[in-house]
Amino acid sequence: NAGVMQNPRHLVRRRGQEARLRCSPMKGHSHVYWYRQLPEEGLKFMVYLQKENIIDESGMPKERFSAEFPKEGPSILRIQQVVRGDSAAYFCASSPRQGLGEKLFFGSGTQLSVL
């Protein structure tokens, strides 16, 4: 059973371009979480999605950021018109169910660098 797959592993964008980060959850997992980690800082929650639904986006910046988890295919975190401050590691995690006793499985992350 493959783990959480994120791609690309590294992504370089120039200011003003768009960044699309993909996350394929573990097989059988329908819950996806996105986190951002700035250099030398902890992980910050961004958004929680179930298939075709955004459940909690309280950690998402109000502008330029969006996320989706379609019925088919990976979850996508999209950043429009990137700025240097978006440079960070973005981690995706998945779980099979929602519940207090459930654990999250994390991917290896996408390192976004904005030039």
Task: Supply the minimum distance, in Å, between the C-beta of residue 59 and other proteins.
Answer: 8
**Structural contact between residues 34 and 90, judged by C-beta atoms closer than 8 angstroms:** yes
What is the 8-class DSSP label of residue 2?
Answer: -
Site for other proteins in 30-59 (CB under 8 A): 33, 35, 42-45, 48, 55-56
Query: Which residue in the block uniquely carries the two structure tokens 């981690």?
Result: 91
**Rule CB under 8 A: is residue 100 a binding residue for other proteins?**
yes
Peptide bond before residue 25 is cis, with ω within 30 degrees of 0: no
Task: Supply the minimum distance, in Å, between the C-beta of residue 23 and other proteins.
Answer: 11
Number of residues that bind other proteins (CB under 8 A): 26
Task: By CB under 8 A, name the one of 5, 7, 64, 106 that touches other proteins.
Answer: 106
How many Å apart are CA 94 and CA 11, to the nearest integer? 22
How many Å apart are CA 32 and CA 52, to the nearest integer? 11
Residues at the interface with other proteins (CB under 8 A): 4, 33, 35, 42-45, 48, 55-56, 89, 91, 93, 98-109, 111
